[in-house]
Every structure is written in structure tokens, then in C-alpha cells.
Amino acid sequence: MSRRMRGVGLIFLLAWTVSASAQSVYPNRPIRFIVGFPPGGSTDVAIRAIAPRWSERLGQPIVFDNRAGAGGVVGAETIAKSAPDGYTIGFGTSGALTVNVTLLPRLPYDPLKDFAPISMMVTNPIALTIHPSLPPQNLRDFLVWAKTQPGKLSFGTAGTGTAMHLSGEVLKQMTGIDIVHVPYKGSNPAAVDLMGGQIPLAVLDLAAGRTHIRAGRIRALGVTSAQRSPVAPEIPTMAEAGVPGFEVKSWFGILAPAGTPPEVVARLNADLVAILESQEGRERMISAGLESAPSTPQFFMETIRAEIPRWARVIRAAGIRLE
């Protein structure tokens, strides 16, 4: 081969190497983010609150794709069946990844095999609330009072199988009280009926309930998390208010399809965690009624793995079925 031909070949090889290297840099095009709920819900609000900062760090736009349906299942399925290249990611909720394994035996994905967890994102604090005209002033009073009226009290929630519903069932199983579940299509309608006296009790997420609690329109007896929530630090935990060991968390995190390259997951995790751990990120979540809860991918997967059997036991003991 002539010196000239070798030089041309070397130039071609160098150009190809530079081009291939440029193409391999992640990300080099917009990222589609799947939200498994309608616009305006807590998941949608949370990601839109930090998306500008995340997009800035990634150097690419984040394009939202709301795929609502079946309590987040439609969105999770969309993620699971997308190309594992880091350009389709989205939300996985505690319901879609843990509760529905038992409630929906024909779930169109395997939470432990079909995803590459990126990070937990937030927890959604929950509170047991009552109408302020009722006699109990605290959780201990409520438990004594409820036991005198078995089967006569009802509690509203955001719907069957939600973390709010399961919180009520855990309370029943831990204390022996007999209260009847009334499912609504979201926490806001349940809060409205509680304020109107149509129901005496409700288990609400604080994003829907905190304004009414602070205005005295409803009374909060306890939050379901292990620690008091920065969203409403004045409300005691259920454990400190009278039910030791009580803990229920509603959370959502960010997933990619299984097979996504580890270096891509690591990049997405690092940027997301940095935002959520910042003062601005925490304040944005609290303003939305949520708590920042970033994690490693490993912790996120361990949480999914641990909660599937826990909720299976609660659901079977309560005889919960989707209508």
C-alpha cells in the first residue's frame, strides 16, 4: 500500500473513531420521561419542579409523556418495554412496583427483572385525619372511641389498594379497630367529603390535606412515616401518638428499562441525587407536599424487593380485591 493510501486510511480511521466516540457520549439527544399519571398529580408536579435543573445538568431537554392508567401500571409497562439506552426513563410508584404484584396477578412486567432502578425520588407523607367535630383529640382517644363503635365508622381514601387504603388496613390489623373503607378517586374528593361531614375519617396524603389541617377544617391524628414529616412537622407520627411500630410509606422513584448500561444509570443517579439533596430541591419538594428521598439504585431495588411480600401479607389478611 502506498504512503498516500496509508495516510488516507489513517485519516478515515481517526475520523471514524472521533465520530463513534461522539455518538457514545450520553446523553446526546432529548430524554423521554414517562409519567404514569395525568398532568397535575403529585408525581407530575414533582418531576416538573426539578426538570429544568436536571435538564441543565444533563445538557439535553427532558420531554414528558403522560401515560396514565391502572394506578401507574401503564406508565411502568411503557418503561419496561422501551429500548434500554437511557433515552426513556420514568416513574415507578410503590403501588405499581410492590402493591400491584398481589392485586394484579397478571401484571405486564416483573418489578424485579424488567427495570434498572435509578433512584428513589420522594416519599408522599400520609396522615390519619378526622372531622374536627368528633370527640377524639388525639390518636389514643380515637382508638378507645373507635372500639366502642365497631363497624359504624368509615374512612375515606384515594382509592382501593393505594398507600392511604393500606395505611388504614395496617391500623386495623395492629389495633383491632373495625372501620369500613370508602374508596374515592383521589385524596382531594375524600378531603372534601370529610370536611363536609359525609365521612368521619380519612387517610390523606399531606399534599391534599395539609392546608385544611392548618385551617382547622380537619384534624390530623398522626402521620404514617417513621419520623415526623418536614411537610407538617407539628403532626406526631402514628408510632409516637399511640401505635408503636406503625410505619407506612408511599414513595415513587425513577426507573430505566432493564439492560440500561450501568454508566448511564450512574450518570442519571448522580445528577438527580445532587438536585434532590440541594436546599433548593428539598424546598421544591416540600412546597409540593412531598419529601426528598434520593437513594442509590441498590437501595431502591432492595426497597421494592422488601415491600412486595409485606404488602402481600396485608392485602391477603384484609381480603382486598380490585373491583
List the chain domain ranges. Answer: 30-124+250-318, 131-241
Check if the beta carbon of residue 79 is closer than 8 Å to that of residue 86.
no
Task: List pLDDT tens digits, range 196-247.
Answer: 999 999 999 998 899 999 999 999 999 999 999 999 999 999 999 999 999 9
Among 96, 282, 289, 137, CA closest to 205: 289
Helices (H), 27-161: 42-58, 73-80, 94, 100-103, 139-147
Kindly give, in sequence order, each residue whose CB lies less than 8 Å from that of residue 127, ignoring residues fewer than 6 positions away.
Answer: 203, 204, 205, 206, 209, 213, 220, 221, 222, 223, 224, 232, 235
Name the stretches of the chain with pLDDT < 70.
1-24, 323
30-124+250-318 and 131-241: same fold? yes
Determine the pLDDT at residue 17. Answer: 40
What's the pLDDT at 24?
64
C-alpha cell belonging to residue 86: 437511557
Joined grid coordinates for residue 65: 409523556
| Residue 38, pLDDT score | 84
Hey, how many other C-beta atoms are within 10 angstroms of the C-beta on 312?
A: 15
Q: What count of Cα atoms within 13 Å lies in the side-chain half-sphere of residue 240?
A: 10
Asked if 106 contacts 51 with a C-beta cutoff of 8 angstroms, the reply is no
CB 106 within 8 A of CB 73: no
Q: Are 300 and 118 in contact (CB under 8 A)?
A: yes
> Hunting for cell 493510501 — which residue is that?
5
pLDDT of residue 23: 44
Looking at residue 323, its pLDDT comes to 66
The residue type of 153 is L
d(CA 215, CA 109): 43
Short-list 192, 196, 305, CA closest to 204: 192
Q: Which CATH class is domain 30-124+250-318?
A: alpha beta
Q: Tell me which of 3.40.50.300, 3.40.190.10, 3.10.450.50, 3.40.50.720 is the CATH number of domain 131-241.
A: 3.40.190.10
Interacting residues of 298 by C-beta distance below 8 A, sequence separation 6+: none
